[in-house]
Amino acid sequence: MGEETWSIDDILATLRTSGGRITATKRALVQALVETREHVTAEALTAAVQIHAPEASPSTIYRNLEELEQLGIVVHAHLGRAAAVYHLAGPVHGHLLCSRCGVTLEVPSTLFEPLVHAVRRDFDFDVDRHHLAISGVCGSCRDAELHS
Ligand SMILES: [Zn+2]
Ligand SMILES: [Zn+2]
Ligand SMILES: [Zn+2]
């Protein structure tokens, strides 16, 4: 995911500045996002939050995630058919997803620059490099197939 720059204090300060109320649930959600340096589903975040704030409901978590996305603190992506995954906004990256074993690779977004420029030039369309994963077959699945 690259270097994260958000700390819990940064995020709480941004929330306060935007006029958002800092609830126990929101605080626990921010903590879970900062501590989890991975792509996590809202369901997994809810479970992590409920350790500190047992009253937190999934719908509250979704609302809070939405608020954090609107403030540019959190982004989500779709990796295949599984539920959307969330993480702190950081350097933009792309996702490659193996359709056989489900492994996800994070790749630098610069990889997509030629595509992004060509699509913009020829179709007047801006590609979102992070939101959807590019699906294909990873090296180990390809090798396993070759040797079976
Ligand atoms: Zn989406
Ligand atoms: Zn990602
Ligand atoms: Zn694979």
Ion ligand 3: residues, CB < 5 A: 98, 100-101, 138, 141
Q: Which ligand is nearest to the CA of 39?
A: 2
Q: Is the pLDDT confidence value at 33 over 90?
A: yes
CATH of 8-88, one of 3.40.140.10, 3.30.365.10, 3.20.19.10, 1.10.10.10: 1.10.10.10
Q: Give CA separation, 83 vs 93, 102, 129, 137, 147, in Å.
A: 19, 13, 18, 20, 33
Residue 136 CA to ligand 3 center (angstroms) comes to: 8
In the chain, where the domains are located:
8-88, 93-146
What local confidence, expressed as pLDDT, does residue 4 receive? 52
Which ligand lies nearest to the CA atom of residue 98 in the structure?
3
Q: pLDDT band for position 37 (50/70/90)?
A: confident
pTM comes to 0.80
pLDDT of residue 12: 94
* Domain 93-146, CATH: 3.30.1490.190
Q: 81-137, pLDDT tens digit by residue? A: 778 999 998 877 889 999 999 888 889 888 889 999 999 999 999 988 888 888 999
Say if residue 138's pLDDT is above 70. yes
How far is ligand 2, taken at its centre, from the CA of residue 84, in Å? 10
**CB-based contacts of 37: which residues, under 8 Å, 6+ apart?**
1, 4, 87
